[in-house]
Structure 1
Amino acid sequence: MPAERIHWEDLPCAARQQVEQHTGQVVAVRTVSTGRNSAVAAVLESERGRVFIKGVDHSQPRRWTQDMEEMINPYVLSFTPRLLWRVNGDWDILGFEYLDGRHADYAPGSPDVDKVVLTFTELGRLPCPDLPLKRPEHRWGAHVDDPADLEWFRGDRLQHIDPTPPNLVMAEGKASLIDWAWPTRGAAWLDPACLVIRLIEAGHTPEQAEDVVGAVPSWGTAPPEGLRAFALANLRMWSKAANGRPFEITKAAQAWFEYRTVQTAAS
């Protein structure tokens, strides 16, 4: 759980009252431990049913992620919970439809993986809305050898770019994609490429992971040189985030970069 994560009962009374104007009286709460962007994240049981909330106070530098989630939500409702309301006082809190499910399992052989692939296939078919979305340079610009490498990552397709298993919720027979803090306009293959690293992290070999995402049509549009540049940028990004700590995602990014280097040289 992030160090700044707080519980419902620790919110200011005024913020709780604002939320209860939408939910009715809250009778039970379960704090959610996953996620990095929100100071408060919880499932509320109220007299009007369940709702998932996430929020930050206005002093937090990452409050912009709330704006991004609100902005993109109407465009991705076929595979994400609906945003029901937003409280924007001293605390900025989003209230979403509650999804009764579990985090996806990316391990080799998991039946969840095929459903995750279907979700990213569906996302790949969506037109990118005309919105002020993030661009690839916002996430990877500091991690390329040459700014020209960013041209490989640019495109006109909507991308989620953070397919960590907690952001894929298995419910109602499908994988729902949550936490749209970084909706990005970019190349159609960015999400499958990000998924490759997460599959390796979960135990796939790089070759197996690429075979899995090969079922996403947009993966076939990825140029070998672009994939190698992207693998290197992600390795640098995750290595910086790890700051010397033994993060599994960094090991996965290293394994993919080494595999991509060989594959690109052979292509």
Structure 2
Amino acid sequence: EIPSPCLVRCLTPRAFEGPVRAMAAFAPPAAFSEPERKVLLCVLDALWADLGEEGARQLAAAHRRRDASEEELVAYARRPASACGDVIGALEVKVGSSPAGDIAELHALLRALASRAGCLALTGRRGPIYRLQTPAIEGILKSWMSSPVGKFREIGKAFKLLVGVVAMGAQPGQEGVNWRAIGYEAPDVVALRAAAQSPGSLDLAACRVPSLEAAPQRTLAGAGGAAPPDELVCDCVIVGSGPGGAVVAAELAEAGFRVALLEYGRWESADERECSELHAFRHMYQEAGNFF
């Protein structure tokens, strides 16, 4: 059951995992009009709402931790999505990485919700949606998410993904405004790069395959330029380097097995990694992590 008045607020870091994809070209940010911005802010605030003083104190009491004070937890619970930094800027950058057709659909949805007729058709209430009270918007979101109509469920899912970008995201080189409250510490990028090991031989190498039909090219990423053999012999093949596949591949390799790990994307060296969400979305996620 989805709690009210906050539909998706949580106290554990959310992992945005997905398949890897190199983004050769990246679109400029998507620009939202003023009515579209109003729609976004009111809907996201219904998803990630101010819990009120009493609700915030209850949340802080239920999740006491040594690394966060009660006041930090209360501030977290009182902070709606619209107060989580440069909300519109973050959304414009994120949405700008989507295919043109998806961007057009999102603009059409926002324009509809900003109009009386469009809002009535999509919600059963006269719009614009940003003139409705938060409880009414929460009810609309719940109805979308549980609707038997797939398109309505897609709309609800899109807004849930966008509120995650806003509430748990961060500007490059900065901590997210909600990170301390959920117990997440920003990674030490310098230390991570210093500790990283680059492939040095065919025992640990990356081979590029331009397509599923083509044979592997005789090129290696970061392995001294040695050409791979025409035939690779291994004990097991792991498909996908997500949180499951990566762990399984590492455990098997440490146990002495010869492991081939197949991934949809390119090899990214430690020097290329910024350890920031925006960089990861752009370069290490299929469709830049967009699913609407």
Q: Give the TM interval when normalised to the shorter protein.
A: under 0.3
| TM-score (norm: length of structure 2) | 0.23
Q: As a proportion of its length, which structure holds more strand?
A: 1
Give the number of the structure with larger relative contact order, counting CA–CA contacts within 8 Å between residues 6 or more apart. 2
| Larger Rg over CA atoms | 2
| TM-score (norm: length of structure 1) | 0.24
